[in-house]
Amino acid sequence: GRSTPETEEEYVEYYQDRITLSQSRQLLPLTEDLADWLNKTLGLEHLTSSNLLDMLDNGAVLCRLARVIQERALEAVRSGLATGTPPVIKGRCFENAARRSFFSRDNMDKFIQFCRQLGVHQNLLFESDDLVLQNNPRSVILCLMEVARIASRFNMEPPGLVALEKEIAE
């Protein structure tokens, strides 16, 4: 390990590191669950808890997710399973957006607008830099869990932890 902090700055850094570590440990089960869910939902195999944010940070996978939810929502409304206006992701998504580019931010903004239409509460939305720069993984993970929870209304298989939550509530 590291030597004991001595100055005030060292203490601040030490505690910030501890908080970050603790938060990432708490997020791990959610992140694993989310990676599994995204793999199943999008027919992927490569997402894991350790690469999830790297794989999402150009926004292309999130745009694909929004399109899948949009399709399922349309089907659910047509079949009478759900009511209301299905959420729509507007405009073109850039599949090959370079990380940290204008296009990756544009993808992210489209996804966040989609989340608003889907009914994700303002407090649970993340900002594009939270994911593009990966400076707030917690807000990204919590937002995506909420997206998954809401999407389960459209007959989409929810992540394990969301399904568990539903069982407990029933």
What residue ranges define each of the domains in the chain, with the CATH number in brackets?
28-169 (1.10.418.10)
Q: What are the tens digits of pLDDT across the range 53-82? A: 999 999 999 999 999 999 999 999 999 999
What is the per-residue pLDDT for 61? 96
Q: What are the tens digits of pLDDT across the range 90-141? A: 999 999 999 999 999 999 999 999 999 999 999 999 999 899 888 888 899 9
Stronger pLDDT, 87 or 18, i.e. the higher one: 87
What is the per-residue pLDDT for 1? 52
Tokens found for residue 83 = 């009511």
d(Cα 145, Cα 124) in Å, to the nearest integer?
A: 10
d(Cα 71, Cα 63) in Å, to the nearest integer?
A: 12
What is the per-residue pLDDT for 14? 83
Q: What are the tens digits of pLDDT across the range 11-29? A: 888 877 777 777 677 888 8
What is the per-residue pLDDT for 166? 72
Top-confidence range, 131-135, 142-146, 164-168: 142-146
What is the per-residue pLDDT for 32? 93
What is the per-residue pLDDT for 10? 87
Query: How many other C-beta atoms lie within 10 A of the C-beta of residue 48?
Result: 14
What is the per-residue pLDDT for 164? 75
For the chain, the farthest-separated pair of C-alpha atoms sits apart, in whole angstroms, at: 65
d(Cα 80, Cα 125) in Å, to the nearest integer?
A: 28
